Amino acid sequence: METADPRNSVPPGRAMPFFGFVVAVGALAVLVSAGPVAGLPDRLPDMPAAFWTMAALAVACDARPFVPPGRRETSAVFPSTCFTFAILLGWGLGPAVAVQAVAVAVSGWRMRHALWRTAFNAAQYACALAAAYGVTRLGPGDLFHSGRLHWSDVAVVFAAAAAWFAANYALVSAAIRLRFGGRWWPSVRLGLAYELLSTGSLLLLAPVLVAAARASAALIPLVLVPLFAVYRMARLSAEREQLAALDPLTGLPNRKALLTEVAEQVHLHAERAARGEPDAHLALLLLDLDRFKHVNDALGHAVGDRLLVEVSARLADVVGERDLLARLGGDEFAVVVPRLTGMDEARELADRVVAALAEPVPLDGLPLDVGGSIGIAVFPEHGEDFATLMRHADVAMYDAKHRNDTVAVYAAESDHNSAERLSLLADLRRVLESGPADAPAAGVRGGDGAALAPGLAAPAPAGRGDGAPRGRAGGAVRPGSGRRWLRRRRERVEVRSDDELINQIVTGADPVRHRTARALAPEVPAARAAATEPAVREAPTAAVDPEASTRISPGGSPSEPRGGARPTAGADDPAGDPGEITMYYQPQIAIATGEVVGVEALLRWRHPRRGMVDPGELIQVAEQSAVMRLLTRRVVDDVVEQVAKWSAAGINLRAALNVSVRDLHTGEIADQIADRLTRYGVRPDRLQVEITEGALMADPRRVLATISQLHRIGVGIALDDFGTGYSSLQHLRRLPLSEVKVDRSFVLGMAEDPDDAAIVRSMIELAGALGLRVVAEGVEDERTWRLLHAAGCDVAQGWFHARPMPAEELATWLSRYRPVRPR
């Protein structure tokens, strides 16, 4: 018959060393206590009533030891420790060992311990009592047989209690180490505080018992009152902790219990992984019900609660006995699956959960269809602690929802809020806040042929050059401008302080960055010292890698891969230089005449550690925060200023810039553009705003209001990436558009794919019938250029004519460019 306690068995391969240790401890116990116990029969007739009272209470209390709820039986508290230690202080080692052996035998029988386990417990207590007795013999003599106690006697009692605890805990820890292996110190450290509180308090109660026994044996049973009170309070506290760890609606464990379970399982699975065991994987499944809000809204929260109870019952039938099912709140559930050999087992359980929820739940005769989306994160591949696993499972769950799938495993590319992206967002905010001032430089006016101020005859670089502060026109700040310099200096200090705090938060949240930061800790002072030196950054030149060019819009050009400079040695300080933002411009060529009629402004950010940041990732990160407003403001300022410089230099070009969905929803973009056009004296028709079909579908009413306001100002509106979205063709009729841009995905293949060519021709004919100008993106070869001309396309944009380039390179390119007309 199997014993009630599974720890009565010894794992295979460990029986010989473990039982050898048990025999050694037993032999040591016999050696130190055989003499005192042998002389005990002659002393028993002379023992006082106080001794017999303590012995009886020790055996009676151990018949029902206190096992705290939620802990294993190895954490049981045995009150006999208090009485046997008091017997040791009052009557010596022999009586204490004998009474302790009887109490251990009774408790072992009650708790169904194996015989070898009971024998080992008796031997360990005998050794602990012998160690404490040896300490008492080093003192002044009998502690309680003389009159008044002295401070030296009290010190001996404390030393004896410490010797008892140290010997007992060391023997138990060594036995656990031999039975179950693994690292020795973590298992010892985890239980040390609990043992000190429980066993230590019992040991220190023993001197009080002896002092009471000196007065009268009748006072000894009174100690049961505080012991029982402590027992009841501990029991009630444990029950409250249990209730606090349960969900009141479903009775399942809640988030607190889930945290405790995952923390313990992570520790155990880390030990299994260290030993090379195959079942060292731990899976966390996060489930969110679909359409649950519809049930609450239509039938009320009472029906929704009943639905949650039924769902929890179904999940409990599917989840295994060793797994933990918890309700996190609302319609979210979590399942902890330990001891997995791989990802497939976690997926199998997720599929069973999905199948269990596929059947409708009947409530009051109404079948309710509830499905679920499940995200899976696995230890150690996806995280090594509860917070990381929970966040990654949540990311996977929302990834499954967005893909209209039921199960998804965490993938880094789906994590749009990772610590790395938070760091990137912080750097983006810093580089934007350290940008140019709002006030325009004197003399920079657009107009029709207005002259630039002295020193501004050539278009100024869009970048920062040597990194020094500059005015709107790109000139260096004069030494006499003290107030502006002081304001900039104060702003730089404050921004750097904020970024260091953000970096600390990001580093602490990301285990990889945390380990890297610790590994590079000796190098941090040197890196910070290097970061404080004046840095000379290279200004964009004609040698800039053209492969670094990418569209600013999220649906960027696939044929323009990112590249750029890689991180340099000295750029490892996260609080250092965030890099520089530069505007690149790609010419737009009238196909019929070959003339340059406009440019598209494209955003570039060269990061000191990441190199040239992918604009698609940059926009995706910025759109989720208020940084998008700063980014749009920076783009509008730079582009309008550049158009003013070109206009003053006699270069009449229309500049197109992309705006995000967030900008179109707020409506501030129209007021900002109107202000900048007036400030720089730029004609409205020199600026064009590009919107995507996705922006139209997000909120057509608000977007239409913003577009209409821009149209009234006189700014052109272009529909970008035409043909790739899901908007209705009625937008071409309702919106005040002046241009449509055929997406490069169709243009790139029209020379080889007849279907793409047919689609492009149809778009051109449709736009032409509505009186709209057509721009084809992605024109990269002569054949495509000629096909577009034959189809009646107005403007071409692509690498066939020119790649995106900084403003100063564009001026040089324009001076060398000669129009080419198709034959």
The closest alpha carbon to 492, from 422, 576, 570, belongs to 576
Based on its alpha-carbon atoms, the radius of gyration of the chain, rounded to whole angstroms, reads 39
Cα–Cα distance measured from residue 781 to residue 800, given in angstroms and rounded to the nearest whole number? 5
Q: At a CB cut-off of 8 Å and minimum separation 6, what does 70 contact?
A: 238, 241, 242
Q: Is 204 exposed, middle or buried (0-12, 13-18, 19+ CB in 10 A)?
A: middle
Catalytic residue among 261, 560, 580, 777: 777
Residue pair 356/313 in contact by the 8 Å Cβ criterion: no
Longest dimension (CA), the chain: 128
Strand partners, 450: none
Cα–Cα distance measured from residue 427 to residue 574, given in angstroms and rounded to the nearest whole number? 9
269 φ/ψ angles, rounded to the nearest 5 degrees: -75, -30
DSSP character string of 481-517: -HHHHHHHHHHHHHHHHHHHHHHHHHHHH-HHHHHHH
Within 13 A of 119's CA, how many CA atoms are on the CB side? 13
99 φ/ψ angles, rounded to the nearest 5 degrees: -65, -40
The closest alpha carbon to 676, from 449, 440, 437, 435, belongs to 440
Task: Give, as one character, the DSSP assignment of residue 7.
Answer: G
Three-state secondary structure call for residue 198: helix
* Mode of pairing for the β-strands spanning 773-777 and 654-658: unpaired
Q: Is 809 exposed, middle or buried (0-12, 13-18, 19+ CB in 10 A)?
A: buried
Q: Which helix (H) or strand (E) holds 666?
A: helix 661-666
Instruction: Taking each helix axis as running N to C, give the angle between helix 184-215 and helix 49-62, from 0 to 180 degrees, rounded to the nearest 10.
Output: 140
Residue 777 designated active-site: yes
- 347-378 exposure pattern, b = at least 16 Cβ within 10 A, e = fewer: bebbeebbebbeeebeeeeeebebebbbbbbb
Q: Where are the alpha helices (DSSP H) in 300-436?
A: 301-318, 343-358, 386-402, 419-433
Cα–Cα distance measured from residue 60 to residue 157, given in angstroms and rounded to the nearest whole number? 25
CA distances from 315 to 145, 249, 350, 394 (A): 66, 15, 11, 19
Cis peptide leading into 479, omega within 30 of 0?
Answer: no
Strand partners, 211: none
The closest alpha carbon to 444, from 646, 695, 159, 162, belongs to 646
Within 13 A of 623's CA, how many CA atoms are on the CB side? 18
Which tokens in the block code for residue 19? Answer: 């039982």
- Tallying the residues shown for the chain, one arrives at 823
Q: At a CB cut-off of 8 Å and minimum separation 6, what does 109 contact?
A: 118
Which tokens in the block code for residue 613? Answer: 């940041």
Could you report how far apart the first and last alpha carbons of the chain are, in Å?
97
Query: Would you name the residues annotated as active-site residues?
Result: 777
